[in-house]
Amino acid sequence: MFLNDTIVAISTPIGEAGLAVVRLSGSKALSVADRVFKPIGQGSLRPSMAPSHTIHYGFIVHNGVRVDEVLLSVLRAPRTFTREDMVEVSCHGGVLPAKLVLDTILAGGARLAEPGEFTKRAFLSGRIDLAQAEAVADLIHSRTELALRAAHEQLAGHLSRRIEQLRNDLTRTLAHVEAHIDFPDEDILPETRSQLVSRLEKASVFIEELLRTAPEGQLLRRGVRAAIVGRPNAGKSSLLNQLLGHDRAIVSPIAGTTRDTIEETANIRGLPVIFIDTAGLREAGDTLEAEGIRRSKATIAKAELILHVVDATEPITDEDRRFLEESANKKRIVVRNKIDLTKLAPWDDSFATGAVSVSSVTGEGLELLKDSIKALLWSGGVGGEMLQVMINARHQETLRRAHFSTAQATEALRQDQSLELVALDLRIAFNAVGEIVGKTTTEDLLDSIFSQFCLGK
């Protein structure tokens, strides 16, 4: 990536739409726009002559031929997303119009942006830190309002401010230790040593609090895979349709209708849950059904949550118990389906306590099932304070390193060990914490993070 280049990309999804946005950023963004944009109207201005944050009507032109009728926004540095001069062209949507506008701008002197390069430039210019840059991707990929709120909180800098506070505390302690290293004739007084230990203990507690947000944070970002399993005709597909709120799976009274897995994401009390409808678990009647059952068992092995559906009109069988044992190490909810029917079999509490009774026809019990799913997946309260600092997997890994090194430094101070060892551990913790906001990072790490972004962001 060359920061002196002017980059361009389509920032809206490719496909049929009313509008598309093509975005430019760089020192030559306005001069490139001059070459391809013909303003229309009395008193119209070329982009390079226009005031910042103004919109202009005209045409994108290539070799004297009109490509598209557009609105062009002029955004001058530093009051832009990248802190560079930017131009945004709002053209007609659709694959061809946006591509022709993009090709014209490329011919005008810009180059195609790399994935995430706009956001990477915003980070490198100091407009946002690395945690906020990651929040941009989280914002785009949010699948529930709760995930969206968490992304907004991180983008607003709430996590970053907590991290800076932690870095400052570690810096103060490290400076104190290194001052005594520089003047070895002056021993650390017992009360001073006690204060340093207390400060590091508070830092460790603070790191532990952040680490506790990791499971919920990762759940909101990537969702959880939930397999709907059970014997044929237990109502698995009907339950999937009820949870989704629309017909996704084929429902039939014929046992074994589902031969392959079906995946769909639903918003369950603010949590993105990827439900997977599986083939009925039984002895296969043919090779096709055998393959479906094999895939069902593979899905169960990978799933993080199991909804084990049983038919409330039939007694529990040894086969049901065997399948239940196969998922004994998973988070699991037993769903007793078809309670709308009149002849229900006696329920055997030894099979599963706390089973949720539902009707996938009338929807009875469905809200209780959603509450049970959320209670099983979400360990804490969904408070604003928690949403502000939900860490991701990368943050979790760096904080674990920081926590270990902070604990090592604390113990070394308690045991009156060499201050050089204490300082070494504190530097490791300080650098690990700095990785979260990008204060200490590598080009490989940046490439890894921003390569996951879409083009145009």
What was the pLDDT predicted at 296?
Answer: 67
Q: What number does CATH give the domain 224-377? A: 3.40.50.300
What was the pLDDT predicted at 287?
Answer: 59
CA nearest neighbour of 280 among 313, 312, 235: 235
Q: Rounded CA gap, 401 and 428, in Å?
A: 8
CA nearest neighbour of 166 among 202, 130, 214, 123: 202
The partner residues of 24 in beta bridges, in order of sequence, read 8, 87
Say if residue 279's pLDDT is above 70. Answer: no
Fold of 7-127: Gyrase A; domain 2 (3.30.1360)
What was the pLDDT predicted at 255?
Answer: 45
What was the pLDDT predicted at 442?
Answer: 75
Non-local (6+) Cβ contacts of 356 within 8 A are 333, 334, 335, 336, 365, 368, 369, 372
Give the pLDDT band of residue 317 (cuts 50, 70, 90). Answer: confident
The tens digit of pLDDT for each residue in 93-112 reads: 988 999 999 999 999 999 99
Mean pLDDT to the nearest integer, 9-35: 93
Residue with tokens 């099932």: 369
The partner residues of 415 in beta bridges, in order of sequence, read none
The tens digit of pLDDT for each residue in 401-414 reads: 999 999 999 999 89
| Average pLDDT score over the chain | 86
Residue 257 exposure: Cα atoms within 13 Å on the Cβ side: 15
Single-letter amino acid code for the residue at 166: L
Single-letter amino acid code for the residue at 213: T
Same CATH fold, 133-213+389-438 and 7-127?
Answer: no
Say if residue 202's pLDDT is above 60. Answer: yes
Q: What angle do CA 18, 451, 430 make, to 5 degrees?
A: 130
Residue 80 phi, psi (nearest 5): -140, 175
Pairing of strands 7-10, 111-112: parallel
Q: Rounded CA gap, 222 and 400, in Å?
A: 21
Q: What are the residue ranges spanned by the domains of the chain?
A: 7-127, 133-213+389-438, 224-377
What was the pLDDT predicted at 276?
Answer: 87
Structural domain 133-213+389-438, CATH architecture? Up-down Bundle (1.20)
Residue 216 exposure: Cα atoms within 13 Å on the Cβ side: 24
Residue 337, exposed/middle/buried by CB under 10 A (0-12, 13-18, 19+)? Answer: buried
Non-local (6+) Cβ contacts of 214 within 8 A are 390, 391, 392, 393, 395, 396
What was the pLDDT predicted at 57?
Answer: 96
Share of the chain above pLDDT 70, in %: 88
What was the pLDDT predicted at 371?
Answer: 93
Non-local (6+) Cβ contacts of 374 within 8 A are 268, 269, 270, 271
Say if residue 183's pLDDT is above 90. Answer: no
Structure tokens at 110: 């810009």
What was the pLDDT predicted at 258?
Answer: 46
